[in-house]
Each structure stands twice: as C-alpha cells, then as structure tokens.
Amino acid sequence: MSSHGTPIAMTSSPCGPLTGVAEVPGDKSISHRALILGAMAVGETRIDGLLEGEDVLDTARAMRALGAEVIDHGGGSYSVFGVGVGGFAEPDSVIDCGNSGTGVRLIMGAVATSPISVTFTGDASLNGRPMARVTDPLALFGARAVGRSGGRLPMTLVGAADPVPVRYRVPVPSAQVKSAVLLAGLNAPGETVVIEREATRDHSERMLAGFGAHIRTEMTDEGRVITLTGQPELRPQTIAVPRDPSSAAFPVCAALIVPGSDVLVPGIGLNPTRAGLFTTLREMGADLVYENMREEGGEPVADLRARFSPDLAGIDVPPERAASMIDEYPVLSVVAAFARGVTRMAGVAELRVKESDRIAAMADGLRANGVTVEDGPDWWAVTGLGQGKVPGGATVASHLDHRIAMSFMVLGMAAAAPVALDDGSPIATSFPIFTRLMGALGARISSAPQAG
Ligand code: S3P
C-alpha cells in the first residue's frame, strides 16, 4: 500500500532520558538502486537489509510489473531475477510510486531507452512534484513524456526505440536526476556523460561499477564528470544494504536535546556525500562520537554515539554542504531550536520541492511551537532558545512528508509541552519502525488512526 491510507494522528510528549541501542533500517537510496539494478542484470541479485518501507516496496512492485522477478525471503532478504539491460516488458497497468520521488525518477530513467510505454502516478504529494527535471534530459535520449500541466504526474513515458547517448549538465543539485540519466544511458549505445557542479550522493555510480558497468568519474573545473559506457551486460550482485544515515538522524538528534540521553546507533554509512548532518552537529558542539570506524562494502561505516549536549550553539551551515545533508535540514532545524543563537541554512532551494515544501512546513510548525524562524526562497534561519526553553504545545501538519512528521515528533520529546501531528502515516514510507524504536529508547509517542 502507498501512503494514501488512513491518517494517523500522533502526539509526542516530553520524556525522560533516551538510552539504548537504535538499530535503524536499511538505506532508502541504496535499497531503490539495488532493486532497479538487480532488475537490469541477468541472473539472481541477492539483497540483505533492504528497507521495507512503502517507498521501496512500491519500487519492488514496479520492477515486477516491468518483468523482473522479486522474491521476498523475509527479514529484509530479497532475490531479484533481472531481465537484462533493455529487457523490460511493457507493464499491463499504471505504475504507482506512492510517495517516492526517487522511485519514480529512477524508474523513468531505467525505462526511457526501451521501446515501451509506461504510465506513472503517485500520491497527492508526488503528483504535485516537478518531473521536467528528469523528462527534459530523457527527451535527449529520444524518450517522450506526456503528463499534466507543469510536468506533473500522472504521466506517460514513451521510451526511445533507437536511443542516442547524451552529454548532460545537471542544472540542479540532484542525485535523482543524475541517476535517471545514468540509468537511461545503460541502454544507449556509446558514452553517456553527466556533469554535476556539486557532488550529490554517489550510490548509483558505486553500484553501477559493482554490477560491472564501465563508469568513471573525473573531477574537472566544470565539476564531477561521470562517463558511462552503454549496453553492458550487468552481472548480478550480492548487496548488503547499510543502515540509513537519514533515518539515524532522528535518534541522534533526539538524544542531543533530551536531558540525560545516551544512544548508540550502530552501523551507519558515513559516505561523505551523505554525512553532512553529523559534521554540522559536531560544529554546533554536539557530543556525537564515531566509534568502531570501519569499511563495509566499499563504504565508510561507524557506530554513532550521541549524548545529551547542553551547550549547543547556532552556526551558519555552509551552502556547499547542502547536498550532503539535504534530507536532514528538517530535523537539524529542531536541534537548532534548542541551541543558543541563530542557525542559518543557505543554498537550500531544493527543500521547497521535496515531499513537501520543507522550509514552509518546518517554519510553520516551529513558529506554532514558539520558535522564531525567518525564511526566503533558498534560505532559512532558526533562532535557538536554548535547552529546556522550547514551549511546544501546538498541533502541526505533516503535509504527507515523513521527515516533517518525524522531526516534529523529535521536537515533542524535548519541548516543555507535547507536540501533536495531524498525520504520521507517511513515516511508513522510510522508517516504518520509527515509533517502536523511539519508544524502546524512552520516547512517549502515542498514535490514533483517524476514522476515514
Ligand atoms: C535521493 C536524492 C535526493 C534526496 C532523496 C533521495 C536519491 O533527492 O532528497 O530523498 O536517492 O537519489 P534529489 O535528487 O531530488 O536531491
């Protein structure tokens, strides 16, 4: 099921110290890519630790609809029997990607250079998000897209029968756009080149190399230049999905602001294209330690130990760090409310086109809970009140956005009065065990399904 089920009202009440071990689920970005590349390889790809959130399960269903076999062995262990590059079959019906921008944009790329028509839809959030950022470069390969006004879903993509390779400079910092172009390039003859000015998460590049594609990245004056040779035979892989740093952000940030807390979050990927939040928190004075640093599956991994940090200070978060923590600004803004001084976040226009307008959603909810927030088109600033000084007490809207929902539940743990949420059901898209996991650490979150 996608995130258009029954709304779930939630309340997070002030709690005692958070303590214990928080085993967060598998990485969402890597889980989507493992399923899609597994479906484009020939033979059986084994995946362990797949995130079983709605976003990723929607991508698994899409891969089945396109002809791959996806077998659930239980406990996050999956097999994907792929159809090979160029082997996708035209689906019988519409592909519903639920809430997932990553799912729909990557799958559009993957089908764009096959001679099939695929119609995509999603929930109210996804159907409002811009798709021209992927359909524009996919048109250069020869694919055609017809959607609603403003380039929005539902949309039909007619894949190119005779695709040509492209050279494309990504105009916005977006790993989804970069990845869509690379996946389309897989079934185009010759070399497809993607240029990005700022480094975004590089899971696609790493995984394509793992599956045996010829891909190389050069740093030039233009930025990162990624060159992929088309029409490889992808070799099936065994993939152990690391735990998601974007999910780890919630127990880590909660521990920093709830007095007396001491939480260990083991096995978190610290790929530099993802770890910007943790650098920022340490600059703010967080007691956040990397323990047991190691390498797993080619990625740096550590156990994160986060303890209550009474002396957090607001900082200017450098704009060039934005891509490496783009999904973490909502929860950072909650931590900023408990710091002393102003935290300024610049160069973040992309936050306005995520699952919700995340600047507006957080600014409205923080203001309702007694925190001063200023914002402009591509920046915002939170004036911290210091530990123990955030009033709370308001009801906020999640806007069908999992990260907005979880961020406000973290706020409620350390505010003076409970924070209520209209609908926490979107949390299931990326972190289905959030409430249980936070409850086991000591959080007090209650949920009540709303009559439809
Ligand atoms: C993702 C890229 C980011 C991020 C999203 C996951 C990915 O989106 O916000 O949650 O897996 O490629 P953009 O590419 O739009 O920045």
Q: Whose CA is nearest to atom 15 of ligand 1?
A: 174
Count the Cβ atoms, other than its own, within 10 Å of residue 27. Answer: 30
Closest C-alpha to ligand 1, atom 9: 327
Q: How many helices (H) and strands (E) does the chain have?
A: 12, 24
d(CA 237, CA 213) in angstroms, rounded, equals 12
Token pair 């993957």: residue = 110
Q: How far is it, in rounded angstroms, from Cα 31 to Cα 432? A: 14
Among 28, 29, 59, name the best residue to mutate to test ligand 1's pocket (greatest count of ligand atoms within 8 A of Cβ): 29
Å from CA of 200 to ligand 1 middle: 9
pLDDT in tens, the chain (452 residues): 344 579 999 999 999 999 999 999 999 999 999 999 999 999 999 999 999 999 999 999 999 999 999 999 999 999 999 999 999 999 999 999 999 999 999 999 999 999 999 999 999 999 999 999 999 999 999 999 999 999 999 999 999 999 999 999 999 999 999 999 999 999 999 999 999 999 999 999 999 999 999 999 999 999 999 999 999 999 999 999 999 999 999 999 999 999 999 999 999 999 999 999 999 999 999 999 999 999 887 778 999 999 999 999 999 999 999 999 999 999 999 999 999 999 999 999 999 999 999 999 999 999 999 999 999 999 999 999 999 999 999 999 999 999 999 999 999 999 999 999 999 999 999 999 999 999 999 999 999 988 75
- C-alpha dihedral (109, 113, 116, 121), degrees to nearest 10: 10
Residue of 32, 176, 271, 324 best suited for mutating to test ligand 1, as the one with most atoms within 8 Å of CB: 176
Q: Which atom of ligand 1 is nearest to the CA of 32?
A: 11
Superfamily of domain 28-159+166-234: Enolpyruvate transferase domain (3.65.10.10)
The tokens describing 48, both together, are 């362990």
Q: Which residue's alpha carbon is nearest to atom 10 within ligand 1?
A: 327
Copy the structure tokens of residue 67: 């002809």
Q: From ligand 1's centre to the CA of 76, what distance in Å?
A: 22
Architecture of the structural domain at 8-26+242-449: Alpha-beta prism (3.65)
Please state the atom number of ligand 1 nearest to the C-alpha of residue 327. Answer: 9
For residue 419, which phi and psi values (nearest 5 degrees)? -115, 130
Order across the sheet with 117-121: list the strands.
95-96, 117-121, 152-158, 144-148
- Which among 370, 364, 408, 373 is positioned nearest to 391, based on CA atoms? 370
35, amino acid identity: L
| Residue 327 CB coordination number (10 Å) | 23
Burial class (CB in 10 A: 0-12, 13-18, 19+), 109: buried
Atom of ligand 1 nearest to the CA of 177: 14
Q: Check residue 1 and give its pLDDT.
A: 38
Q: How far is the CA of 102 from the centre of ligand 1 (A)?
A: 6
- 340 Cα to the center of ligand 1, angstroms: 31
Nearest CA to ligand 1 atom 16: 174
Cβ atoms 143, 160 nearer than 8 A = yes
Of the residues 36, 55, 102, which should be mutated to test ligand 1's pocket, given the most ligand atoms within 8 Å of the CB? 102
Residue 358 backbone dihedrals phi, psi, to 5 degrees: -70, -25
- Residue 311 CA to residue 338 CA, distance in Å, equals 9
Residue to probe by mutation, ligand 1, list 106, 244, 326, 406, most atoms within 8 Å of CB: 326
Which helix H or strand E contains 206, and what residues bound it?
helix 203-210
Minimum-distance ligand 1 atom for the alpha carbon of 172: 16
CA triple 419-420-422, angle to 5 deg? 150
Query: Residues with beta carbon inside 6 Å of ligand 1?
Result: 29, 102, 174-176, 179, 201, 326-327, 350, 354
| Beta strands 340-346 and 316-317, pairing class | parallel
Quote the ligand 1 centre to 390 CA distance (angstroms). Answer: 31
Q: State how far the Cα of 363 lies from the Cα of 116, in Å rounded to an integer.
A: 43
> Phi, psi (5° rounding) for residue 438?
-70, -35
393 Cα to the center of ligand 1, angstroms: 32
Active site residue 327: yes
| 287-296 and 77-83 strand pairing | unpaired
- C-beta of residue 281 within 8 angstroms of C-beta of residue 335: yes
Task: Dig out the tokens for 178 from the structure.
Answer: 């970069």
Contact of 10 with 416, CB cutoff 8 Å: no
What separation in Å is there between the alpha carbon of 173 and the centre of ligand 1? 9
Q: Which amino acid is at 126?
A: L
Encoded tokens for 396: 């906020």
CB 384 within 8 A of CB 336: yes
pTM of this prediction exceeds 0.95? yes
Contact between 35 and 73 (Cβ < 8 Å): no
Half-sphere exposure of 322 (CA within 13 A, CB side): 18
The one catalytic residue in 327, 364, 401, 423 is 327
Ligand 1 atom nearest to CA at 353 = 15
Domains 8-26+242-449 and 28-159+166-234 share a fold: yes
Q: Which residue owns the Cα nearest ligand 1 atom 11?
A: 29
Report the atom number in ligand 1 closest to the C-alpha of 246.
Answer: 10
Instruction: Count CA atoms within 13 Å of residue 249 on its CB side.
Output: 32
C-alpha of residue 17 to centroid of ligand 1, in Å: 33
Q: What is the 3-state secondary structure (H, E, C) of 22-90?
A: CCCCECHHHHHHHHHHHHHCEEEEEEECCCCCHHHHHHHHHHHHCCCEEEEEECCEEEEEEECCCCCCC
How far does the centroid of ligand 1 lie from the alpha carbon of residue 276, in Å?
Answer: 14
Q: In this structure, what token pair is assigned to residue 275?
A: 């770890």
The domains of the chain are located at 8-26+242-449, 28-159+166-234
Q: How far is CA 181 from CA 155, 196, 237, 347, in A?
A: 18, 12, 22, 24
Relative to the CA of 323, which ligand 1 atom is closest?
A: 16
Instruction: Name the residue with the closest Cα to ligand 1, atom 13.
Output: 174
